Structure formats: C-alpha cells, structure tokens
Copies of this chain bind each other. A is one copy, B any other.
C-alpha cells in the first residue's frame, strides 16, 4: 500500500458510516486544497493541513531555518490561496528530535512568525512532541472568503483555457542547483533557489481570481503541473491538452537544467513545490485575466485547453513533427508515450 492507496482506502472506509449532523455545514470535504465549511451568513471557512518531514520534505544541510519556518507557513497558505481565500489562523504541531539545536529552532520559529505576519495570520495553538525521526512540522491553517467566490477543482468546463501563474519548475531547478553545490549568491540562479527555499503563496492573485467571477476551477501547483492538472481533469471528469511550447520555462531554468544535466520540461511538468496557481476559464477571459495578473505583478500564461479527451496530454511541436505524450492521472511516477506522428 502506498500513500495514494492509503488515502483511497480511508475514503472508501469512510463511506460505511452515517453522516454526522454537522455535515450540513460542510460544503467540501476531502478532495480539494481545503475543506470548506459555512461560517456565518455568506462567509465560509477554509481548512487545510500539511506536514513537512525532515529528510522527506526538507534538507537541513542547505535549508536555513528561518527560510524553512517561512516555507512551512507559505506551503499551507498556498492551499488557502488555491481556493481564492485569505488566511486567518494557524496551528502548529512541532515534532522535535532528541537533543535538538535550540538556536536552529529559535531561527525556525522566527521565520515562521515572520511569515504569519507577512500573510496577516495568527498562530493560535498547537502541540509539541518528541520525534524520534528528525524534525517534523504539521500546520493546520484556516482561511475565510465569500461562499459564492470559492474556486473548487471540479468545476472546469470543456473548452476552458488552462492558465498558470508565474513560471514552472523553478523550485525543482533550485533544489537541483542546491544539491549540486550552487548557492543563491549566483545572480542568475537566485530566483530558482529562492523559489525552493522560500516560496511565496499567491494570496492576492488567488483572491483576485476568485472575486473576478471569470474562473471555473483552480488549485495550486504543489505536486507539479502534471499531477495537479490531472486532479482538475479527474475531478471535473474532463481531459486536457497542454502545449509544451506554451509552458512558462525561464531562460535561467534552461541554463540550470543544462548545468545539472536535467530536462527543463521535466522540471516544469513534474517538479512540484512551485506554489503557482493553475486555473481554467473561458478563452475569451484571457485578456482580463492577464490584466488581473499585472495588477498582482504576476504573469499569467495560457498553456492548454480542457477537452473530452482521455486524461492529460502534452503536445510537443518540432517543426512539422508533432508528438503527443500521455501523462497519467497519477502523473508523478509514470510517463508513457502513446502517440507519435
């Protein structure tokens, strides 16, 4: 059993049970970036939970504690942004290994509290436990917004254009550079490395997109475009075709990939941890959405289209040759070419 199978089995087991009375206020349970519950009048509350485990999600060898503290918050805030909400409250459960370094922890806390301040949310509680397997940080984040503005991932429509904010693959490129011994002191790589160590959640953009009324479905690119867009596809019971040449891949990412002997397209599709927003809207909304991105100092890129085809497909054009690659719904591990002409 892997993690995905665990989640599925838990969901299946849950179906046996009667619905508790409080579920009347539950607008979205498991299966989106946040759970959504009615709060008061037209307001809803958003809830999400994310754990970051040492040696799985972060490497203390090159992750400064202040930036890790910030990242733990940003990763969670991004789930709120992915629904279009505003973060409000945070709970932290910290797992501390035996004999942990007090200075490291003070710096981590400093970064975490700075990030709470940056996103205008408050740490209101949590837990502290001993952790035999290294540091482990679980955050529960709450957010708020108008019920009518919430953007779910299951509402994409056939013919919608697929958009993405910012650039893809930066975090994966930054991680590869760090592992190869590069640092943020090298100017052309500062952005990539910073995107890995200290990403920013797109709160302002997410809220603007939600309030625009132009967007049908949205989520954040935490697991990589291929996996995340596949979630929009399966939730919306649609397929999608994305165009390789439209993917926002920066020159610095290409240069990093050359140095690290990696494929920048692979980073863009499967890198994860970009914390950009992936969203779908009618093609005619493109100009207005780009304008809205400008207001938030973020470029918006159209990268594909939602259709009735099966799953997620990548179209690569090379002169007259055209190649369609099938990206499975699991996305992360599997890469299978199904058609070439």
Q: Given the known inter-chain contacts A1-B102, A132-B133, please indicate yes or no for A53 contacting B125, CB distance below 8 A.
A: no
Residue from B10, B26, B113, B131 within 8 A of A109 (CB atoms): B10
Q: A302 contacts the other chain (Cβ, under 8 Å)?
A: no
Q: Is A35 within 8 A of B96, CB to CB?
A: no
- Residues of chain B within 8 A (CB-CB) of A6 are 94, 96, 105, 128
Given contacts A3-B96, A120-B21, A127-B138, whether A109 and B49 have CB atoms under 8 Å apart is no
- CB-based contact B13/A122 at 8 Å: no
Which residues 114-140 of A sit at the B interface, judged by CB distance below 8 A?
114, 116-117, 120-134, 136, 138, 140
Given A49-B140, A109-B13, A26 contacting B127 (CB threshold 8 A): no
Cβ A95 vs Cβ B51 within 8 A: yes
Q: Would B9 and A109 count as touching, CB distance under 8 A?
A: yes
Residue of B nearest to A125 (CB): B35
**A229 interface residue, CB < 8 Å from B?**
no
- Give every chain B residue within 8 A of A180 (Cβ-Cβ): none
Which A2-53 residues sit within 8 Å CB-CB of chain B? 3, 5-7, 9-10, 13-14, 16-23, 26, 29-30, 34-35, 37, 39-41, 47-53
Complex Cα gap A96–B127 (Å): 19
* Neighbour of A133 across the interface among B110, B125, B131, CB < 8 A: B131
CB within 8 Å for A113 and B14 given contacts A22-B89, A125-B35, A134-B133? yes
A49-B140, A89-B37 as given contacts; A29 in contact with B122, CB under 8 Å = yes
* Complex contact B128–A3 (CB within 8 A): yes
CA distance A14 to B113 in the complex (A): 7
Q: Given known contacts A13-B106, A29-B122, A88-B22, is B51 in contact with A93 (CB within 8 Å)?
A: yes
**CB distance B53 to A131 under 8 Å?**
yes
Q: Is the CB of B39 within 8 A of A40?
A: yes
Decide if A131 touches B136 in the complex (CB within 8 Å).
yes
In the bound complex, what is the Cα–Cα distance between A170 and B134 (angstroms)? Answer: 32
A56 at the interface (CB under 8 A from B): yes
User: Which A residues lie at the B interface, using CB under 8 A?
Assistant: 1, 3, 5-7, 9-10, 13-14, 16-23, 26, 29-30, 34-35, 37, 39-41, 47-57, 88-89, 91-96, 100, 102, 105-106, 109-110, 113-114, 116-117, 120-134, 136, 138, 140, 142, 144
Starting from the known contacts A6-B128, A10-B113, A47-B89, 17 additional A-B residue pairs (CB-CB under 8 Å) come to: A6-B96, A10-B109, A13-B113, A18-B117, A19-B122, A20-B116, A21-B120, A22-B89, A26-B122, A29-B123, A30-B126, A40-B40, A47-B124, A49-B91, A49-B140, A53-B129, A56-B131
The 5 closest A-B pairs by CB, nearest first: A133-B133, A40-B40, A1-B102, A140-B140, A35-B124
Q: List 6 A-B contacts (CB under 8 A).
A: A3-B130, A6-B128, A9-B102, A30-B125, A49-B93, A56-B131
